[in-house]
């Protein structure tokens, strides 16, 4: 939690120089600066803002919910135009009353779309009339990228092998619990999938799958050990960059509705530029940010009011110690300090708040060794503050 009394003056000091490529407001010279593995400072005002998404609505037993605004709809209850057979022919499953139903014996279907890392939402229901037992009751499967199966099964009061229950990463990891509803009722999967990433034949990130069944966590960031499968043990292995979503025909008239996914941004291991980064990637992003801030500083050039440009140049040094920017910022600070020292007392009094705020910034820059010590502008501003009594709090 921030301390508003210490934060507000500094934020006000620099809000006029917020970057065009990041937040429009936010503190500068505030949180810990970028480091070897982090391209952004803590609470960084230059950090890109998250994309706004209009949230969807939850489903009810009789009506599917509305997907979020950025979702790719795979089945909206009208037709199977986004699905095909494994041979590329039109899907043969049945669509009625807003639901698709397995046509036993027609074969599995898969999306025409291909995707990689994603958040997937899919709702399914096994037949209300219970027939068979074990793996013979309402069996189907959700195959991520056409490979990794999250099991679909009527597991309600139905004993079977643990890694074959509803919510299982089939053949690999049983669900943590069985929060299933009765046969015929709608079950809801929310799945987060991150594919394995290999480089030069070696795993950089094994990938994982997280699954919620009816709002209950059943796969907790489970590492991917290959696609899984029936009876055979699979091993960690590369996946393609993109693949289809497939739904299984296992001979049971299982139903599906409200299927959509959201593509996820790349992880740092595959070119993402946020979070914990490799040193090389972090420095590349820092250099990019520094260059953008220096360009912004040039646009702020104003001989009558040099402070905004000066602060932007100092800010660029948090990301990259570029010699020319360092020299220019220090020269501007030196000229500004000389101007302060030459002011008559009545005019200097009008600079009280700005001097105190600049002193806070100069403290930050020296604390994190952004500028070399001793840093004369800080020495001068501290002396002015003490000499004028500006460091004393009103009683």
Closest CA to 319 of 56, 1, 45: 45
Within the chain, which residue ranges are assigned CATH 2.60.120.560?
Answer: 72-270
Residue 7 has what pLDDT?
A: 29
**How buried is 316 (Cβ within 10 angstroms: 0-12 exposed, 13-18 middle, 19+ buried)?**
buried
How far is C-alpha 18 from the geometric centre of its chain's CA atoms?
A: 23
Residue 54 has what pLDDT?
A: 97
> What is the 8-class DSSP label of residue 120?
E
Instruction: Give dist(CA 62, CA 65) in Å, integer.
Output: 10
pLDDT in tens, 6-43: 323 333 334 333 344 444 456 789 999 999 999 999 99
Instruction: Give dist(CA 206, CA 27) in Å, integer.
Output: 37
Residue 233 has what pLDDT?
A: 86
Question: Which residue do the tokens 């250099």 mark?
Answer: 287
Contact 12, 27 (CB under 8 A): no
Q: Give the CATH number of domain 72-270; options: 1.10.3720.10, 1.20.1300.10, 3.40.50.300, 2.60.120.560.
A: 2.60.120.560
Contact 223, 208 (CB under 8 A): yes
The low-confidence residues of the chain, meaning pLDDT below 70, are 1-26, 393-395
């Amino acid at each position: 939690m921030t301390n508003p009394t210490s934060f507000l003056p500094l934020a006000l000091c620099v809000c006029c120089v917020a970057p065009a490529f990041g937040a429009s407001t936010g503190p500068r010279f505030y949180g810990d600066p970028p480091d070897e593995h982090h391209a952004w400072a803590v609470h960084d005002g230059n950090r890109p803002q998250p994309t706004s998404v209009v949230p969807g609505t939850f489903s009810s037993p009789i009506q599917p919910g509305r997907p979020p605004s950025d979702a790719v709809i795979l089945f909206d209850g009208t037709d199977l135009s986004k699905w095909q057979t494994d041979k590329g022919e039109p899907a043969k499953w049945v669509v009625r009353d807003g639901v698709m139903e397995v046509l036993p014996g027609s074969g599995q279907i898969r999306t025409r779309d291909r995707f990689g890392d994603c958040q997937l939402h899919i709702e399914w229901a096994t037949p209300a009339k219970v027939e068979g037992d074990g793996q013979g009751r309402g069996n189907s499967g959700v195959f991520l990228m056409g490979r990794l199966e999250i099991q679909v099964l009527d597991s309600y009061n139905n004993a079977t092998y643990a890694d074959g229950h509803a919510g299982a990463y089939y053949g690999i990891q049983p669900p943590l619990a069985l929060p299933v509803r009765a046969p015929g009722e709608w079950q809801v999967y929310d799945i987060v999938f991150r594919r394995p990433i290999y480089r030069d034949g070696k795993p950089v990130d094994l990938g994982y799958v997280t699954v919620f069944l009816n709002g209950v966590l059943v796969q907790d960031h489970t590492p991917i050990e290959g696609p899984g499968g029936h009876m055979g043990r699979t091993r960690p292995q590369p996946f393609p960059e993109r693949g289809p979503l497939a739904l299984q025909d296992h001979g049971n008239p299982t139903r599906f509705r409200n299927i959509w996914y959201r593509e996820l941004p790349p992880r740092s291991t595959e070119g993402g530029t946020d979070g914990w980064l490799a040193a090389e990637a972090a420095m590349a992003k820092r250099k990019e940010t520094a260059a953008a801030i220096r360009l912004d500083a040039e646009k702020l050039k104003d001989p009558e009011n040099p402070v905004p440009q000066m602060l932007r140049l100092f800010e660029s040094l948090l990301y990259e110690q570029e010699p020319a920017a360092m020299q220019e910022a220090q020269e501007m600070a030196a000229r500004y300090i000389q101007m302060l020292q030459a002011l008559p007392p009545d005019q200097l009094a009008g600079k009280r708040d700005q001097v105190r705020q600049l002193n806070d910034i100069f403290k930050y820059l020296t604390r994190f060794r952004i500028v070399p010590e001793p840093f004369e502008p800080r020495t001068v501003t501290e002396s002015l503050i003490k000499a004028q009594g500006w460091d004393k709090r009103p009683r």
